[in-house]
Amino acid sequence: MDLAFTKEEQAFREEVRSFFRDNVPPDTRRKLVEGRHLSKDEMVTWWRILNKKGWGVSHWPKQYGGTGWTSVQHYIFNEELQSYPAPQPLAFGVSMVGPVIYTFGNEEQKKQYLPRIANVDDWWCQGFSEPGSGSDLASLKTKAERKGDKWIINGQKTWTTLAQHADMIFCLCRTDATAKKQMGISFIVFSMKSKGVTVRPIQTIDGGVEVNEVFFDDVEVPYENLIGEENKGWDYAKFLLGNERTGIARVGVSKERLRRIRDLASKVESGGKPIIQDAAFRDKLAACEIELKALELTQLRVVADEGKHGKGKPNPASSVLKIKGSEIQQTTTELLMEVIGPFAAPYDVHGDDGSNEAMDWTAQIAPSYFNNRKVSIYGGSNEIQRNIIAKAVLGL
């Protein structure tokens, strides 16, 4: 057992850190620190900088543009990225559909899609959830019917993150209504510009629009847009969701937020002195930091295990990462609310137009508290994660 990173790993961390320092646009970083939403342009600009450096799709196999890093290097990269902070690569392309295409797609599809994912020439979104299927994903109803060399797609997806920016969607569609529910699903990709696709924004309780409903009305899609085999979509979806867990603990994000809390708490006064001097507050902050340290170690155990024994099938320990990671993220947003106290209330109608400088540092704190309630719901709710542990680990 050895906790220390090697000299090479430490040097790698320095390299990553200094690259972020020199290349993340300062305004992009500021907005992330303040919990603001970024524009499409701001995100794409950064991702292309990252891709030019060769780090855009770092975990892909080398022949498709990956870096060949070790598990520990990936861990370091993600932690530095999250805690700098800089925008994380667009998960829907880089972590979800990309690996499905290079694992199950044909050569033509790999050539057509992978470079464009890496450079975010196409913005991808995920067509999985439906109004009636939350955690019970396999109950989905969106239908793809084969007509000659085309699919005709009808149905509705929801919770489609950033669909308003999307060029492409990967969709789970029912292609065999007679099969058992997991068996009749196919994985089909198509353009969001197709005739018959309608995107309707859903405003969430933080006031923002991150998610959307997407309607398909007789959408015509070329047959060759099917990935892998017909009716095998559920297997690909499980593969994809296994990948989604990596980095789900978001240790770096919480670290960055805790630093911000400490910083704000030494400026904001309570009882005539900075709130950081209040013992009760400091205890709560320490409690959260300790939880995060434990989570970081748990994550490192999983990383070290993957490095040594290979990735294999998804590690049930990732459910621990999801549960604790989301709880800690939520606690950090609660602590921020506590720090700003009565200044949680003003609603920032002006956005980030610089017209209300005094409010800049508080404006996004309540929204980000509201927004972070999602983290224990998405990616398999924390209750689903507990089901997974009970079944896969405890054998209940």
Partner 1 sequence: MDFDLNEEQRLLKESIDGLLTDSYDFESRKKYMKEKGGWSRTVWGKLAEQGLLGLPFAEADGGFGGGGVETMIVMEALGKALVLEPYLATVVIGGGFLRHAGSDAQKAAHVPGIVDGSKTLAFAQLEKNSRYDLFDVTTTAKKKGDGWVIDGEKFVVLNGENADTLIVTARTKGERRDKSGIGVFLVPADAKGVAKKSYPTQDGLHAADITFTGVEVGADAALGNPDDSLALIERVVDEARIALCAEAVGLMDESLKTTVEYIKTRKQFGVAIGSFQSLQHRASDMFVAAEQARSMSMFATMAADFEDAKERSNAVAAAKVQIGKSLKFVGQQAIQLHGGIGMTMEAKIGHYFKRLTMIENSFGDTDYHQRRVADGGGLI
| Cis preceding linkage at 26, omega within 30 | no
29 contacts partner 1 (rule: CB under 8 A): no
User: Could you give phi then psi for residue 203, rounded to 5 degrees?
Assistant: -85, 130
337 contacts partner 1 (rule: CB under 8 A): no
Q: Which run of H or E residues covers position 369? A: helix 365-371
Report the sign of the C-alpha dihedral through residues 365, 328, 262, 43, in that order.
negative
Tokens of 132: 């009636």
Crossing angle between the packed helical segments 7-23 and 71-83, to the nearest 10 degrees = 30
221 touches 144 (CB < 8 A) = yes
CA distance 116 to 122: 6
In the bound state with partner 1, the residue whose beta carbon lies nearer, of 213 and 263, is 263
Q: Which stretch binds partner 1 (CB under 8 A): 106-114, 205-213, 318-326, 365-373?
A: 318-326
317 contacts partner 1 (rule: CB under 8 A): yes
Residue labelled with tokens 């847009």? 225
279 contacts partner 1 (rule: CB under 8 A): yes
In the bound state with partner 1, the residue whose beta carbon lies nearer, of 204 and 387, is 387
Question: How many residues sit in the footprint of partner 1 (CB under 8 A)?
Answer: 49
Q: Which of 9, 42, 230, 360 binds partner 1 (CB under 8 A)?
A: 9
Q: Which of 34, 263, 291, 334 binds partner 1 (CB under 8 A)?
A: 291
CA distance 110 to 100: 10
Q: Which stretch binds partner 1 (CB under 8 A): 128-136, 184-192, 212-220, 299-307?
A: 299-307
177 contacts partner 1 (rule: CB under 8 A): no
Q: Which of 6, 106, 135, 266 binds partner 1 (CB under 8 A)?
A: 6
304 contacts partner 1 (rule: CB under 8 A): yes
CA distance 208 to 6: 43
389 contacts partner 1 (rule: CB under 8 A): yes
Dihedral-angle region of residue 81 (phi above 0 means left; psi in -120 to 50 means alpha; beta otherwise)? alpha
Residues of this chain that interact with partner 1 (CB under 8 A) are 1-6, 9, 72, 255, 258-259, 262, 279, 282-283, 285-287, 289-295, 297-298, 300-301, 303-305, 307-308, 317, 319-320, 323-324, 383, 385-387, 389-390, 393-396
